Amino acid sequence: MAKDLRPGGDHPVSRAVARLRAELDGLAEVPLFGLGPGETGATLVELTRLAAQVAELELRVAAHAEEVGVEQQSGATSTASWWAHQTQQDRRAAAGRVRLADALGRFHSVREALAAGRMNAEQARVVTRALDRLPDDLDPEVLARAERHLVAEAADHDPRALAIIGKHLLTVIAPEIGEAHDARALEREEREARAKAWLTMCPDGQGSVRGKFQIPSLHAAMLSKMLLAFAAPKHQAATKASTDAGEQQQVVERRPSPERMGDAFCELLERLPAEDLPTLGGLNASVVVLIDYRGLADGLARATLDNGEPISASMARRMACEAGLIPAVLGRSSELLDLGRTARFFSGAQRRALNITQPTCTAVGCDWPAYLCHAHHDAMPWSRDGRTDLADGRNLCPHHHARIHDPTYETTRHPDGQVTFHRRV
């Protein structure tokens, strides 16, 4: 809970803030009964504008707090840290507000629009960031035009739209220099976005996996279009028609719920063609399902994925028909009966055996771990009637696997099982 530090003294700002808080304290218990729709809407808009004006004053005082060193009273490390501690704010958020306060001291048109309630604080943050990305050697008059342009656009655009406008700001106000600059800036942003992409997946131990990700805008748009196609009401109606014909209802087009988008994501993954995906360890990125033959027939047993996760036999049968699953059917004593159509590739058991005997890439000096390597037919390629025998398998990382097929190199095999490469002369 924030500490109550109501200002005292004779400064007009201090007195005004004290009066405002007293007025608001008096409204805390006032019922809204009798406030009609029209007046309610007008009041809500005015409150939003008031919040913008208060935000401008707050940020202006925060900038002044830095100037006078308000944190020195308590020995705090910075104004932002002192502010966060006194008001129980998140320190990162407080630091962001202090940065915005500094920016408003440099961009007066933005500050004036915020003080007048014509712009909200998030719009101001987006606009100042766009202005700060402009070249340092930009002509002051061009910079002033850019600021005025974004302030005017804020009257009709939300923060997200303003951010997009800011990406090609110079192209609009100074096309003679802006097109090249904005193009370079956009390319740099795309490179940085791709470099900052990440994804985490965490199993909850109850049959689900939670995850988060950050991806570039292009790939987010691609994923969104794919999911919306699967989540579209017409697609849902076609693939998940009600079993009760009497419940058939007209589909209402509306934004899909998070649950429906999650279901669409699962369907997208099920429909990805494994043969079009990159290989992992020399194998197509297919999921192998281990299932006892009797369980496959009677549906009573459970199946196991190659990562150890159990799934039901009915799920395994359905997915084997629709998705990139390879059934590994086991007979008595776990005897391998069938590996589908993977005979060209080393089996999982063979790969595990290879990984035990060859824990890294077998190229001299390479330490890539076996689970990232490809299983190479060492004596005779499969395309020339080579056999997929364990004795003929060799673990090679992707780089050395490509090199061993490169005719510009020849190889020397050593008694310890390793191999060296030499460029042909």
Evaluate if residue 410 carries a pLDDT over 60: yes
The CA distance from 301 to 34, in Å, is 65
The CA distance from 362 to 370, in Å, is 9
pLDDT digits (tens, 9 = 90+) for 158-168: 998 998 888 88
Pair of tokens at residue 221: 């748009």
Residue pair 385/392 in contact (Cβ under 8 Å)? The answer is no
Of residues 140 and 167, more confidence is placed in 140
pLDDT digits (tens, 9 = 90+) for 3-51: 445 555 788 999 999 899 899 998 988 999 989 999 999 999 999 999 9
Evaluate if residue 219 carries a pLDDT over 90: no
**Partners of 396 in the beta sheet?**
374
User: Helix or strand or coil: residue 139?
Assistant: coil
The CA distance from 377 to 392, in Å, is 6
The CA distance from 417 to 413, in Å, is 7
Give the alpha-carbon dihedral of 83, 86, 90, 96, to 10 degrees: -10
Answer whether 0.85 is exceeded by the pTM: no
- If you average pLDDT over every residue of the chain, what do you get? 78
C-alpha 116: how far from its chain's center? 36
The CA distance from 66 to 70, in Å, is 7
Of residues 272 and 174, more confidence is placed in 174
Name the amino acid, one letter, at 66: E
pLDDT digits (tens, 9 = 90+) for 91-138: 899 999 999 999 999 999 999 999 999 999 999 999 999 999 888 888
Looking at the chain, the number of H-run helices and the number of E-run strands are 17, 13
The pLDDT confidence band at residue 208, using thresholds 50, 70 and 90, is confident
The CA-based angle 199-200-203, given to 5 degrees, is: 145
Nearest partner of 120 among 88, 98, 151, judged by Cα: 151
pLDDT digits (tens, 9 = 90+) for 359-401: 889 998 888 888 788 888 876 665 555 666 777 788 888 888 8
- Top mean-pLDDT range of 278-282, 287-291, 333-337, 369-373: 369-373
Tell me phi and psi for residue 89, to 5 degrees: -85, 160
The pLDDT confidence band at residue 240, using thresholds 50, 70 and 90, is low
What is the pLDDT, as a whole number, of residue 207? 79
Nearest partner of 123 among 63, 74, 52, 65, judged by Cα: 52
Nearest partner of 358 among 311, 324, 396, judged by Cα: 396
Give the alpha-carbon dihedral of 309, 314, 317, 318, to 10 degrees: -100
Largest CA distance in the chain: 95
Residue pair 18/7 in contact (Cβ under 8 Å)? The answer is yes
What is the pLDDT, as a whole number, of residue 307? 60
What is the pLDDT, as a whole number, of residue 419? 92
A 10 A CB-CB count for 371 gives 12
- Top mean-pLDDT range of 120-124, 239-243, 347-351, 386-390: 120-124
pLDDT digits (tens, 9 = 90+) for 299-310: 555 666 666 667
The CA distance from 412 to 418, in Å, is 8
Q: What is the DSSP string of 295-363?
A: HHHHS-SEEEETTS-EEEHHHHHHHHHHSSEEEEEE-GGG-EEE-TT-TTSPPHHHHHHHHHH--B-SB
In this structure, of 113-127, 246-260, 321-335, the range with the lowest mean pLDDT score is 321-335
What is the pLDDT, as a whole number, of residue 150? 95
What is the pLDDT, as a whole number, of residue 242? 41
The CA distance from 376 to 419, in Å, is 12
Evaluate if residue 344 carries a pLDDT over 70: no
- How much of the chain, in percent, has pLDDT values that exceed 90? 27
409 burial via Cβ count (<10 Å: 0-12, 13-18, 19+): middle
Of residues 234 and 262, more confidence is placed in 262
